[in-house]
Structure 1
Amino acid sequence: MYYMEELSLFQTIIIAIVEGLTEFLPVSSTGHMIITQHLLGVPSSDFVKAFTVIIQFGAILSVVVLYWKRFFKLNKCKIFDTNIVNNNRSARWIEYGKRFLYKYDFYWKLLIAFIPAAFFGLLFSDKIDEMLESVTVVAIMLVIGGIVMLFVDKWFAKSSSNQEMTPKKAFCIGLFQCIAMIPGVSRSMATIVGGMAQKLTRKNAAEFSFFLAVPTMFAATAYKLLKLVTSENGLQILQDNIVTLIVGNVVAFIVALLAIKFFISFVTKYGFKAFGYYRIIVGGIIIIFMLLGYNLEID
């Protein structure tokens, strides 16, 4: 059986541009794609739901490209205990463990931060998919998140650039990331606030948020692809829409490269207030339209 492409080239490019622009900004990329999907008249389907997640892969590649030295640089192992007796097996294994954790320290902390989202994401996968269809949830969370953004700089004004990232802090940031499973919250916002709550500077918190996006969004993309392929006629649907997925990822990658550079520069100089006002305005407009009787929910 042949399945028509579910998104036109125009719709694909617009949604991918929105993804690339908003994925790493604290404004909720998922929320913006849901709103964009409605404005473009794109009906909700298994493929469209998968598409909005899969094109995040293009966005995360931009992080790897921009920060490739950080991603592929391993710490040089140092000697922790020069007095280890060679025939002391327990001490020797402890030493190997310390060296391993030190060498792969960057990846180890990312893994720790990733674990909470992986656990709760699998646990509440179906509920999350249900919420992804609700523009109402998106609008409300945009406003609430916007209010948080107005005060976050003041709350964490004493963050220190000398604060080192530790496994405990990484795990706490990972817990904050779980809040972003609610559409409209923003994964970037949740993890940046979590980082600043752990005494990281705005820049350091933002960068760790970018790094954490790589395993998180890669896992989400792989999971969505697996669900799509294993669903009824899923493999055929994927084959018929492969060009759409390629175009979406390429566009998201290019736009995200520019967005990340802009965001780091902007937030370092001006903080988060502008994003807070933006979220409140967009969420407020959507709520007003819905109160006036306009049906903005996705069919």
Structure 2
Amino acid sequence: MGWFEALVLGLVQGLTEFLPISSSAHLRITAALAGWDDPGAAFTAVIQIGTELAVILYFGEKIGRIIRAWFRSLYSRKYRHDPDARLGWLVIIGSIPIVVFGLLFQDDIHHTFRDLRITATVLIVFGVVLAIADRVGAQTRDLDHLTVPHGLGYGFAQALALIPGVSRSGGTVSAGLLLGYRRAEATEYAFLLAVPAVFGSGLYELTKIGEGTGPRWGPTILATLVSFGVGYAVIAWLMNFIKTRSYLPFVVYRIALGVLLFVLMATGALDPAAGPQF
């Protein structure tokens, strides 16, 4: 992987990580259309650390409160009912599904799930799911209503994002909307829930950077830094956008992209397995 390729993929990661359109799918599609090697699941996981650092910066005050209250709840009974401490526990509980499924389906994540036919299918299917959730969700709950079953529901939805095309934010936001949470609250919890999952996955995959034919350290670091800067701007824009607008534009985009991929593959313009797998 060269420097220009890393720059482009970092931009793509930053632009798409927080939108419900799947950053992993866009990294995979961008590389395939450009004729580049598939950047691989390890590269994708590592540069996502950059976008999660943007989450920590944007929600820094809230995350700080959650961490402090959570630690205090370990030894002080009065903090066990603190809303921030409770949210900290629910982020941990909601992270369990993606850890379990990530370990169980390691080979599929690196190979089978990266087939562009699967990516196109889930882009369309989960675009429809997001449209339904945005349409029928009651949108009356805030994060104070979050329960353990709801946290696990969010968590299972996040685990589906191990398949490129589902979208971590799209899956978790859809779950939140179907559970009756407001758009802003569903999106905020989705971002918070992603932090331990992404850092865990990224750190786990770090050992694969620079190995064999995999991406080198220099371009990977560049892509991570670019994704951080662009990702921060996208978070700020999205949190304002959803206060007054629905997710419909993203639904239309997902379905159109999925259909375009099928057309390109059907005409032979795009190989479903384009690029060697790492």
Q: Compared with structure 1, are the counterparts of its residues 171 and 97 closer, same or farther at alpha carbon in structure 2 (3 Å cutoff)?
A: farther
Contact conserved, 2:45 with 2:202, CA < 8 A, in 1? yes
Pairing 1:51–2:34 present? no
Distance 2:174 2:120 in 1: 20
Pairing 1:23–2:17 present? yes
The alignment covers a number of residue pairs equal to 270
Distance 1:161 1:218 in 2: 26
Q: What corresponds to 1:252 in structure 2?
A: 227
Identity %: 29
Unaligned 5+ segments in structure 2 are none
Q: What corresponds to 1:91 in structure 2?
A: none
Equivalent runs, 1:231-250 vs 2, <5 Å: 234=211, 241-250=216-225
Q: Compared with structure 1, are the counterparts of its residues 76 and 281 closer, same or farther at alpha carbon in structure 2 (3 Å cutoff)?
A: closer
Could you tell me which of 59, 64, 85 is aligned with 2:56? 64
Q: Tell me the CA shift for residue 162 of structure 1.
A: 7.4
Q: Tell me the CA shift for residue 152 of structure 1.
A: 1.9
Q: Tell me the CA shift for residue 246 of structure 1.
A: 1.5
Deviations 1:225-267 (Å, cap 9, x if unpaired)?
13x17xxx83x878x9222122111100001001111111112
**Structure with greater Cα Rg:** 1
Q: What one-letter code is carried by the residue in structure 1 that aligns with 2:260?
A: I
Q: What corresponds to 1:147 in structure 2?
A: 128
Contact conserved, 2:22 with 2:165, CA < 8 A, in 1? yes
Equivalent runs, 1:177-188 vs 2, <5 Å: 177-188=158-169
Q: What corresponds to 1:83 in structure 2?
A: none
Pairing 1:283–2:261 present? no
Q: Tell me the CA shift for residue 203 of structure 1.
A: 0.2
Distance 2:125 2:29 in 1: 17
Contact conserved, 2:143 with 2:185, CA < 8 A, in 1? no
Contact conserved, 1:57 with 1:218, CA < 8 A, in 2? yes
Could you tell me which of 208, 216, 222 is aligned with 2:203? 222
Contact conserved, 2:21 with 2:165, CA < 8 A, in 1? yes
Could you tell me which of 69, 91, 94 is aligned with 1:113? 94
Unaligned 5+ segments in structure 1 are 1-6, 79-93
Q: Tell me the CA shift for residue 130 of structure 1.
A: 1.4
Q: What corresponds to 1:39 in structure 2?
A: 33
Relative to the length of structure 2, the TM-score reads 0.88
Query: Alignment partner of 2:32: what SS?
Result: helix
Query: Alignment partner of 2:6: what SS?
Result: helix
Q: Tell me the CA shift for residue 101 of structure 1.
A: 3.7
Query: Alignment partner of 1:200: what SS?
Result: coil
Distance 1:95 1:173 in 2: 24
Pairing 1:270–2:242 present? no
Q: What one-letter code is carried by the residue in structure 2 that aligns with 1:269?
A: T
Contact conserved, 2:142 with 2:182, CA < 8 A, in 1? yes
Q: Please, what is the CA RMSD of the aligned residues?
A: 2.5
Q: What corresponds to 2:152 in structure 1?
A: 171
Which range is displaced more, 281-290 or 167-176?
167-176
Pairing 1:11–2:8 present? no
Q: Compared with structure 1, are the counterparts of its residues 244 and 160 closer, same or farther at alpha carbon in structure 2 (3 Å cutoff)?
A: same
Query: Alignment partner of 1:25: what SS?
Result: coil
Contact conserved, 1:20 with 1:59, CA < 8 A, in 2? yes
Q: What one-letter code is carried by the residue in structure 2 that aligns with 1:252?
A: S
Q: Tell me the CA shift for residue 99 of structure 1.
A: 4.1
Q: Compared with structure 1, are the counterparts of its residues 115 and 100 closer, same or farther at alpha carbon in structure 2 (3 Å cutoff)?
A: farther
Relative to the length of structure 1, the TM-score reads 0.82
Deviations 1:171-205 (Å, cap 9, x if unpaired)?
22111212222221111111111122232110000
Contact conserved, 2:99 with 2:197, CA < 8 A, in 1? yes
